[in-house]
Every structure is written in C-alpha cells, then in structure tokens.
Amino acid sequence: MSKRATREGYGDALLEIGDDKKIVVLDSDLSNSTRTCVFKKKYPLRFFNCGIAEGNMISTAAGLSSAGKVVFASSFAMFAAGRAFEQIRNSVAHPNLNVKICASHAGISVGEDGGSHQCNEDIGIMRTIPNMTIVSPSDYYEAKFLIKSSAYIDGPFYIRLGRLAVDNIFNDSYNFNLGKGILLEDGKDVTIIATGLTVFFALEARKILRQDGISAKVINIHTIKPIDKEIIIKSSEETGAVVTVEEHNIIGGLGSAVSEILCEENPILMKRIGIQDLFGISGKPTELFKIYEINADSIVKYTKILLKINLNVFNKLEDFP
C-alpha cells in the first residue's frame, strides 16, 4: 500500500471543493507544510496568509464565517490548539460558527522537531469546548473525504492531521460518516479501539495476535467528539476487554473518552496505550513510536497482559460463593 500523509488529503480535498465560492482558506504562514498552498495557487482570491498570528487568524475566520463563508483555518496543532485557544473558545465555539480548524503536524510523529512542536494535548484541550466536533483521520483517503464532508456540516470542527506519510487503509470508495465508528475487523477476545495513524498499528497487531490464537476486534474511531457510544458499548460487551490506542496523551484523548463511557455503561478491564503524560523528544518517528510504546508490538504486549488479568479476574469470580 502507498503511503501518504493526512495533511496531503487535506490539500487535495480543498482543491476538490474549491469551486464553491463559500470556501475560504486561512493559513498562518505555513501553507507549504499544511498543504493549503495547493488551494492558494488555484484560488488566490479566497486564500489569506494571516502570518504568525494564530489568534488573529481564528478571529478573522470567525468574522468571515459570520458573513456566510465556510472557513478552513490552518496551522500546526501546537499553535492552533495552544496559542489560539481563547479565540477558538470565545469567537468560534461559543457562537457556534462554521469554522474548520485544520491542525497539522500533531503528535510525536512530527519527529525531529522535538517536544516543543509535538502536540500531544490538543484533543484533550478541544474536547472540553462545547459545540466542538473533533475528528482524527487514519489515512489520506479518510482525511480527504472527512474534509469534504465537514465543509457541508454546519458548526466548528477541530481536524487533527499529521506530517508523516502513513499506510493507506481505505481507497477512493470510502464514505465518511460523522460520529460513527468503523468495525474494520471482527473478533471475540478483545476490542482494540484506535484513532489516527494508530489504526494501522492496531490492524498489524491483530495479525500478530491471531498467530497466538487471540481474536481481536479492531475499531476505527475517527470522530472523537461526538463519539460513537453504541459501537464502544456493544463491542465491549461482546469481548469483555478493551485496549485503546492513540498518538496523544492518554489523559483527555481517545482513551479517556472510551473509559468515561465504559465506566458509566459497562465497567470492564481496559488499557490505554498512548503518551503516558510525558513531553515528546526529538527523533525519527519510528524510533519514537518504539520509545513511547505506540506500535503494533506494544499493542500485542499490553493486550496479552490485559487478557491475562481479565482471565484471572474471571476465574476468581467463578470461584466466588
């Protein structure tokens, strides 16, 4: 399978919907990296470089949206979620405006740029804001179709995109459905719930687990908020054990969202795989995935530990008078 970054899906999607004169794109002097440069080249009159002033960019996006435009505002996740939080909260989310915040270079896969640019907290920050929809595509195709769909779904979006070229899971026939998780592989022993680039790791882990006689269900949660409670509860009831995987701090991200649901609806043993409340370091993405234990081998390792714990608990319950 070819590898392409989700940020490329963003750029290509903007080209495909660019004939719609309601579409306006803003960037904070990073258009080559965020890939909004392709829109700028074809539709220069509806592209605005706001400079290294992310708060101002979001305020400008809010103004354009209030005038009837569908605005895509782009920067790195560290700056979009971090530097512009107040404007996102008060100028975009509070009035529920039609602004799509497309945050590229999220997570440790930014690699050599190091901890200052590896934003592992953005989903947690955005989840706390009312009216905010949060999506995290797993590959190029999901990103492209997600972007195109978001343009015609009213309200603010936080769209998490990556720098790293990743394996494609889907193809041109993909159909994005906001708020609905996707069952990629069925299984009976454990449910692995993943988002973003970790979906591919989950699929690879499933193959390894199958060789050891463990049947894993794999679910892609592309919409973090509103999250698909139904598929999470149903799958947890069917397998009795859940592992979540994300390229994000385990506090506030996918793992937190899933654990909140299960705590209220179906308390079972689960393991959150992700950044263990740490800052990133500089290094090649593959090396960092290994260091922070966000890869197929780590999913296999912690799934086996969880299943062993689950079996011990089950045996104790069976013996309980």
**Higher per-residue confidence, 315 vs 273:** 273
Q: Residues of the chain with pLDDT > 70: what percent?
A: 96
Query: Does the pLDDT at position 192 exceed 70?
Result: yes
- Contact predicate 98/127, CB 8 Å: no
Indicate whether this model's pTM tops 0.85: yes
| CATH tag, 182-319 | 3.40.50.920
Residue at 23: amino acid letter: I
Mean pLDDT for the stretch of residues 278-297: 96
182-319 matches 3-167 in CATH topology: yes
Query: Does the pLDDT at position 75 exceed 80?
Result: yes
Q: Which of 8, 16, 54, 238 is catalytic?
A: 54
Every domain of the chain and the residues it spans:
3-167, 182-319
Q: CATH number of the domain at 3-167, out of 3.40.50.150, 3.20.20.120, 3.40.50.970, 3.20.20.540?
A: 3.40.50.970
Distance between CA atoms of residues 299 and 272, nearest Å: 10
Q: State the pLDDT at residue 84.
A: 95
Q: Is 315 exposed, middle or buried (0-12, 13-18, 19+ CB in 10 A)?
A: exposed
- Contact predicate 140/5, CB 8 Å: yes
Instruction: Specify whether 54 is catalytic.
Output: yes
Residue for token pair 């915040």? 101
CB-based burial, 271-291: b 16+ in 10 Å, e otherwise: bbbbbeeeebebbebeebbee
